[in-house]
Chains A and B, each alone.
Chain A
Amino acid sequence: AQKITQTQPGMFVQEKEAVTLDCTYDTSDQSYGLFWYKQPSSGEMIFLIYQGSYDEQNATEGRYSLNFQKARKSANLVISASQLGDSAMYFCAMREPFVAGNNRKLIWGLGTSLAVNP
């Protein structure tokens, strides 16, 4: 069965430093996609970045990049130059395998709480 594991319940980082949030996944499908979301204390889930299993390059979106290691089944989120506003919960998610006629859902990790210290 597909599964997402985020092993770090909480992380601290100093402002302006880089931080890596871990995400490992388990799937037997060859085609899959991985998403990262941010949830600040206000509650809204904000999409950050997407990586497809066939993408040859690691995804990047501004200060966010994805360290995608397919053989290790890991898709770690790297936040460069941390800012105070980066303090939030971060969730990794994977879409279910494609089955013709089905609409796929996301499988979610339990999240990592990131605190950025001034």
Chain B
Amino acid sequence: DVKVTQSSRYLVKRTGEKVFLECVQDMDHENMFWYRQDPGLGLRLIYFSYDVKMKEKGDIPEGYSVSREKKERFSLILESASTNQTSMYLCASSFPSRQREGRQETQYFGPGTRLLVL
């Protein structure tokens, strides 16, 4: 069965703290993604990774960094948390693109982390 886990469901941090959000998948997926979700703005891609040690910026990478040292694990790092980073963070994984095939690119999500920065 498909399984993506995130290290915390709820997290409260102080402004300026360094925050680590961890995501682990057990499906041997090459691709992993970090999104943030805010009311009225939908899902916005922060970063994604298509292989170990490889990463690409998404739509809103500012203030974030990522790390992928192992295939199954993708970490999102808030270098210095700010109140405007209070949000729901969702991790997902998928197989990579293969020509015209699409179904296998289905992204599977973790339960999400609700982060509050005070």
Residues of A within 8 A of B (CB): 31-33, 35, 37, 42-47, 50, 52, 54, 91, 95, 98, 102-106, 108-111
Say which residue of A44, A52, A91 sits within 8 Å of B43 (CB atoms): A91
Q: A33-B103, A111-B42 are in contact. List 8 more A-B contacts (CB 8 A).
A: A43-B112, A44-B111, A50-B102, A95-B97, A95-B105, A98-B97, A105-B45, A110-B41
B55 to chain A, nearest CB (A): 11
Which A residues are in CB contact (< 8 Å) with B108? 47
Pairs A–B under 8 Å by Cβ, sample size 13: A33-B103, A37-B109, A43-B111, A44-B111, A45-B90, A45-B92, A47-B106, A95-B97, A95-B105, A98-B97, A102-B97, A104-B97, A110-B41
Q: How many residue pairs between the two chains, A and B, have CB atoms under 8 Å in the bound complex?
A: 63
Contact flags (1/0) for B13-32 with A, using CB distance below 8 Å? 00000000000000000010
Question: Main secondary structure on chain A at its contact with chain B?
Answer: loop
A33 touches B90 (CB 8 A): no
- Chain A minimum-CB-distance residue to B95: A103
